[in-house]
Amino acid sequence: MLILGIDTGGTFTDFVLQSEQGLKTYKLPSTPDDPSRAIIQGLNHFFGRNIPDNLEIIHGSTVATNAFLERKGAKTLLITTSGFEDVLFIGRQNRARLYDFNVTRPIEIIPRSMVVGVKERMLYDGTVLKAPGRTVSRRLRRICRERKIEAVAVCFLHSYANDAHETYIKEKIRTTGIAITLSAEILPEFREYERLTTTLINAYLGPVISTYIKRLSRRLGNVPLHIQQSNGGILPAPDIENRAVNTLLSGPAGGVHGAHQLAGEMGLEKLITFDMGGTSTDVSLCDGRPTLTRDHKIDGYPIRIEVMDIHTVGAGGGSLARIDPGGLLKVGPESAGARPGPICYGVGGKELTVTDANLFLGRLLPDRFMGGAMKLQTQQVETAMKTLAEKLGLDPVATALGIIRIVNASMAKAVRAVSLERGYDPKEFALFAFGGASGLHCCELARELAVEKIVVPARAGILSAQGMVFADPVMDYMQTLFLTGEELESGVLGEKMEQLVNRGMKDTAGIGGNVQKSDITVEKYLNLRYQGQAYEICIPYKKNFIELFHQAHEHNFGYRLEEKPLELISIQCSVRINREKTELPREDYAQVKQASPVSYECMRFDSGTVEVPVYDRKHLFPGQGLKGPALIVDNYTTVLLTDDFSLTVDTLLNLIIERNC
């Protein structure tokens, strides 16, 4: 079986092909107007027009993310309980900045006119108080027809306890042919606001994902296509159309999974992933395993599904450098993207970016970018840097260094958000630097965070695509279940959990083909809290789950209340189909311990201009070491080794960078 991982990013599209001959890689600029065009170009690079029959594609896409951020989803009708039509717009009334009088609300997903109330009522225990009227279906079909609705989201009060009313509405308007999302199917959980937003976003993005997948599938023919989910797992493309919300962190999740899988082969358990691409930077903390969360927000709206706990900031190689209204230098979050891209690309970019600043400082070599496939334009960058410097009253070198310092500060803040702010000391973790731009910033970022060890993977520029190649099919299930105190020790909990697991095991037959029980891994979790609390903690369902909860609560909040009864809110499980994987390529230690530079280049630092040796990464072999300053050039990434760090090459061809004693 040939497995091709494809990560479509905002700036570049990455490819990793796994075959009996090992791993082959490719990278090319993305085509934002139609991402499938870049995918077909990549397929032509590997196979020409003769796509082999034993090929399988695993695809991570930003289609759903971009469609939501740009509010280019389907024309969606939200059907909810009469009297609760404004839940979407009221929200939780939480303010991210309590004393900011100029807070702006996120752009509405749909206007108020696209919300319809139905006179029905289900009680919290599943008892029917008022059933939908007989004429409601006729009214809803008429609304869908007159407003040319493309998708419908149904979210009634307490449907997690009894979904009869939602199912009734679905059956009555199914004849319209419109895609319908029920909250009882996508998120059978209490808390109506989060359930409503998750359901609505899924419906809003469903037709967009469906259109994209169908277009791509037509161009791929009979090639099996899987989509990377936000939880790190994959699902067949036809199944993902009804789970569009699960693809919002598709690409970044592949990077975290790839880094964790690589760390496992290296014997490392504690790592912070640092994925700096052209448009943004994604960071995540893994303490033994990737961190998952169900409290993720996108553009201010919560999605209560299992996703990788990834913190994203608008700081990438394409982040624009501008002067703000106060006359100060600002970098990001706006990006030049793939088109027109940075000025140095020479395809129409007019504003300076982080990539331009690195080129100006000599940290990028104009003839070696993308393996020499793209020659960078230095003269245009120098002219633009002088212009910006004059406006700031600085010299051009100070301006370029300022751009780098500002973007580094943004990324350091993101790392602290997933580590220090959650009780983890980044000194205890290795910084896994990947993505096309991370190598130029990893040493300075590690210095800022007091991190002692950096790992730059062998295929750092395309690690997200590599992570997709090694991903497994994963399905998540959850169910609301209220139990308190001694009820947790009864047989009800075990019985309900078994029913949930059986549901997952049954579904594996539909996505995994001939799957043996030995190939399936099931993980069970409980969402617990102290009685009276508002938020719960997800705990593995083990014999000592009560003690595990106390320990987790003490770690998160600094105290434990063992005399306080525990309250169960919901149960969940994750069903994983373990696919056979090939080992990552390794090489023996080199006979020659000293690597030879291919050239010397002048680079600008705070201390002045320094002549720095340049090394070709493909000529660095296991056992060899370097001391900074040095520049290591690869086809898809460039690594700047500053003078306070040294590196060695391991047998997996990773660069292991450590601070000098």
Domains and CATH numbers, the chain: 2-68+210-249 (3.30.420.40), 70-206 (3.40.50), 474-577 (3.30.1490), 599-659 (no CATH)
Q: Are 457 and 463 in contact (CB under 8 A)?
A: yes
Q: What pLDDT was estimated at residue 595?
A: 87
Q: What is the DSSP letter of 514?
A: S
Q: 304, 287, 286: which is closest to 295 by C-alpha?
A: 304
Look up residue 396 and give its amino acid. Answer: P
Q: What pLDDT was estimated at residue 513?
A: 61
Burial class of residue 190 (count of CB atoms within 10 Å of its CB; 0-12, 13-18, 19+): middle
Alpha helices in 367-518 (DSSP H): 378-392, 396-418, 442-449, 463-469, 491-512
Sequence-separated (6 or more) residues with CB below 8 Å from residue 1? 54, 56
Q: What pLDDT was estimated at residue 119?
A: 96
Q: How far is CA 60 from the centre of its chain?
A: 9
Q: What is the dihedral of CA 244, 250, 256, 262, to 10 degrees?
A: 110
Task: Give, for 254, the enclosing helix (H) or strand (E).
Answer: helix 250-266
Q: What pLDDT was estimated at residue 512?
A: 57
Residues in the chain with pLDDT values less than 70: 338, 510-513
Give the global pTM: 0.88
Sign (positive or negative) of CA dihedral 573, 212, 258, 203:
negative
Q: What pLDDT was estimated at residue 490?
A: 86
> Can you name the residues that pair with 646 across neighbouring β-strands?
627, 658
